[in-house]
Each structure stands twice: as C-alpha cells, then as structure tokens.
Amino acid sequence: MARTLLCLVRHGETNWNIERRFQGQFDIALNARGRAQAEALAAELATVEFDYVYSSDLRRARSTAEAVVQSRGLKIFALPELREKNDGVWQGYTHAEVQALYPDLYPHYLARNADFCAPEGESLKDFQHRITCALIKIVQEHEGCSILIVAHAGVLDIAWRLATGKSLEEKRINPVLNATPNWVAYEKNTWSLVDWAGSEGRAEISAPWDGQTLPRREAARGLIVSPEGRVLLIRYAGGLSPHFIALGHQHFWSTPGGALKENENYAAALSREIFEETGLRINADVGPVVATREFPMELGDDWRQAIERYYLIRTPEFTPTPMEQTQEEKTHMLEARWWGADELAQSQELIFPEGLEELLRKVTTR
C-alpha cells in the first residue's frame, strides 16, 4: 500500500471559541480573526499540492477549506462524518455554565472518561469510532495521495492519537491550533505522525480588536416564543459590518431588544425595547435568562465588547405594532415574522444570535 499523506487543519477561530462555549455540532461561523487565519493558512499552503480536499460540513470548517482551495479548482468533499463530537445538551453553554449546571457530570468530561457522554451526546469512544472510520475510508479511497482535511479540534485529537498510539484517557501534550497544518501518514494499515505544529515560532494572526480596550455594549434581548414553538424575529436594515455587506447581505434578522441606556438595568431595558419594537407589554420581573453572549461586535467602523442577555418571554403569536419609535428606528425596522426552528436551520438569511435554532429547540422542549 502506497503512503498516503494527510494535512489536518482545525478551522479558524469563532466567537464561541473566545467565549469557551461548547460548539459541538452547532453550525457557528468564523469571526474576523478566524477569517484572517483562513487567509493566512491559504498563503502558508500555497505551494503545497493536494490531490483531494475534505472538510466537515459545518460552516466554520468549510469556510476555512474554501480559503485554501479558492484558486486551485479543487472540489471540497464536505462530510457530516467529520463533524466535532456531539456534546448533546451542553452545546451552546460555556464551560463555566456547564460546570455550574452539571457539577456531578463535568468532572467526567475533564477526566476524559471514554464511556462518558453529556446528556443526549456522544461518548469519546463512539466519537473515536466515527472519526477513525471516516479517516480510514478517505485514505483507502485515495491511496498514495496528498489530502487536505479541515475539521475540528476533537477530530484532530483523534487523528493525533491514531498516529501516536495514545489512549483516549491520556492527556494531549500537543496543542490543536486554529488554521494550522499538521501532518500524519497512513501506510500498510499503520498511522504515523509526520509533523504536529506548536505555537512556538508561529506568527499570531491579529484581529481588528487586538490591543484595544473595547467599550462595553450591554444589551437585553427577548426570546419571544409562542405555544407553537415559534420565535419572533425582526428584520433590520443598516448596522452591518463590511464583511457581511461584501457577502451580499443588506439586512439581518434578530430577536427584539437593544442596548441599555445610561443608568438602566437589563430588565428595564428589555421592557422598554420590547414595547418600542413590538408593542408588547411585559412585567418588570422578566425572565428567565436562557442565554448569554459576550464577544467583540463590529458596529459600522467601530468595535464594541458586546454583553448580551436573552430573556425567555412566552406569549401567543401576535402581530407586532411598534410604539414610540424615532424616525431613524422606523427606517431600520423593516418587518417582523414568526420562525420555527427548522425554518431557521434551513434559511440562507443572516440571523442572530448564532445557534438560535438550537436555543429555540431547547426552550420549547422544557
């Protein structure tokens, strides 16, 4: 059997990486640094010849692969088998949130218990089986070739263990860096490690917010959900970053809500924003908070440190009637619509927050 060479790459950075949030199989996009990392990866691999290119079918991996093959004319084979480990109900939560919500289970995750899985998730043992089967199928179909595979940290960890003979329980001693090439080989039914990248000597890819203390932008947003399990979203014009405009987006959909005014708390801001944007009156004692987000946000030409809280509001479906809006606010609000989780997952529209369809599924099954 001829030697087959695999270049294994983890996707570029996402905002959920920054937040230390379990992404798992949620379809989260690259952030500004992640896109820059993908371009830097393309430059680093510009002189490397590949016969085939594979990626996970999740957009953070697929977008990273697309940057590399942009001028090569190679097809990307996007496989769900190369997705990250399914962390079940933990997906969407930060590590700190999971530790607080599941204090008896989280230590099993830290200990790398091969048989443990988060509720409704996948064990390390099952994950290893899935990834090993996918990699063996690829190398057997393309014996003697050079193959680029763009996937996820967990996928690369399994490949590293195949190549080094390390068990699932052993601690990984090598990092899995974003958008960085690592090499393993497969020959005569045996895996071997060719090269695994470390951070030493590698240039740090900068983000637009590096070196800045970003002004805080605290916001309260309402996850308004009907008994039918649909969520109310508003289509807004304006405020999009140059990146999204370059992709052809002229507007976006988001949950109602907005930034806190001076000396205003989250509950008061939520009540005010919901009334202004929908006409719905809600109690001052709102809640519960079902999601939080903290990430660098691009607003026009500036960056802010966004701190967002999402409050669950259950109500029968109604036709929103905006109230007490300025002329500018009226110009930016285009329409309102109720969405189901499947509609959100299938839509090509720009929708915030990321992972909204899965958040909606969580709150509608409670």
Name the residues annotated as catalytic: 11, 84
Q: What are phi and psi of 83, to 5 degrees?
A: -70, 160
How many H-runs (helices) and E-runs (strands) does the chain carry?
Answer: 12, 14
Residue 304 host element (H or E): strand 302-314
Residue 204 CB-density burial (10 A; 0-12 exposed, 13-18 middle, 19+ buried):
exposed
The tokens 């609000």 sit on which residue? 333
d(CA 159, CA 135): 8
Please tell me the chain's helix, strand, coil percentages from 3-state DSSP, rounded to the nearest 5: 30, 25, 45
Omega within 30 of 0 (cis) for the link into 288: yes
Angle between helix 153-164 and helix 124-141 axes, rounded to 10 deg: 70
Residue in the structure block whose two tokens are 């479906």 = 317
Distance from C-alpha of 25 to C-alpha of 323, rounded to nearest angstrom: 39
Among the listed residues 239, 212, 238, the one whose alpha carbon sits nearest the alpha carbon of residue 296: 212
Q: Give the C-alpha separation, 150 to 130, whole Å.
A: 16
